[in-house]
Structure 1
Amino acid sequence: MANTKITQVHNVNPEELTESISTAVEKILAPFRESFKLQKPTEWITRKQVGELLSISLVTVDDWTHRNLLTAYRISNKKRYKLSEVENALTKINN
């Protein structure tokens, strides 16, 4: 027969014990929750979508890519851009 241990808790009702355990587990898991947050997946857009988004021609999209103002990623023979990087390429002008 297996050796079993029994622990008795006195002067604590089941609700208090449950709450105490839940609080302790929450405190331990809180740092991990921050590091394992689900991240929004990368949204890829085409040259045409970049042109429409920025109201520029495809020639200008290619020119800006060539001048490293925009970063293109090649998937087979197609160019794709990260939407977040296109948005970050825009800079604020103070007049």
Structure 2
Amino acid sequence: MANQKITQVHHTNQEDLTASISKAVEKIFDRFKENFQPKEPTIWITRKEVGEILSISLVSVDIWTKKGILTAYRIGNKKRFKRAQVESALTKINN
């Protein structure tokens, strides 16, 4: 007990101090939880995979990319697509 440090807090008891600290920490974590959104990793797919997912030809993938329906990203001489964007390009049809 020779190394024990003592901090004096006046006009409060141990339970009140513990409750006050717990509330402060809880508020900090609540703000953190509001702003924290786990980031989902980007899944990159090829033209061929886009064609397979949408059941279209590679020519159609290129045409839809030129029309702006699909967004392609170029890395060197290779085109890649974000899977989430390809899936979000699909629109619901109400009959």
Interval containing the TM-score (normalised by the shorter chain): 0.7 to 0.9
Offset of residue 17 of structure 1: 4.5
Offset of residue 6 of structure 1: 3.1
The CA RMSD over aligned residues, in Å, is: 2.4
Distance in 2 separating the partners of 1:32 and 1:11: 29
Partner of residue 12, structure 1:
14
Identity rate, percent: 61
Distance in 1 separating the partners of 2:70 and 2:94: 22
Which deviates the most, 28-37 or 64-73?
Answer: 28-37
Give per-residue Cα distances to partners, 1:40-62, cap 9 Å, x unaligned. Answer: 11111111110110011111111
**Mapped pair 1:83 → 2:86:** no
| Structure 2 residue matching 1:28: 3-state secondary structure | helix
Partner of residue 28, structure 1:
28
Partner of residue 3, structure 2:
none
Note closer, same or farther for the CA distance 1:39–1:57 as it changes in structure 2 (3 Å cut). Answer: same
Offset of residue 82 of structure 1: 0.8
Which deviates the most, 27-36 or 48-57?
Answer: 27-36
Offset of residue 67 of structure 1: 1.1
Opposite residue 90 of structure 1, the aligned amino acid is: L
Note closer, same or farther for the CA distance 1:50–1:27 as it changes in structure 2 (3 Å cut). Answer: same
The runs of 5 or more residues in structure 2 that have no matched partner are 1-5
Which deviates the most, 80-89 or 27-36?
Answer: 27-36
* Number of equivalent positions: 90
TM-score using structure 1 length: 0.78
Offset of residue 20 of structure 1: 4.1
| Structure 1 residue matching 2:24: 3-state secondary structure | helix
Opposite residue 6 of structure 1, the aligned amino acid is: T
Which deviates the most, 48-57 or 28-37?
Answer: 28-37
| Structure 1 residue matching 2:14: 3-state secondary structure | coil
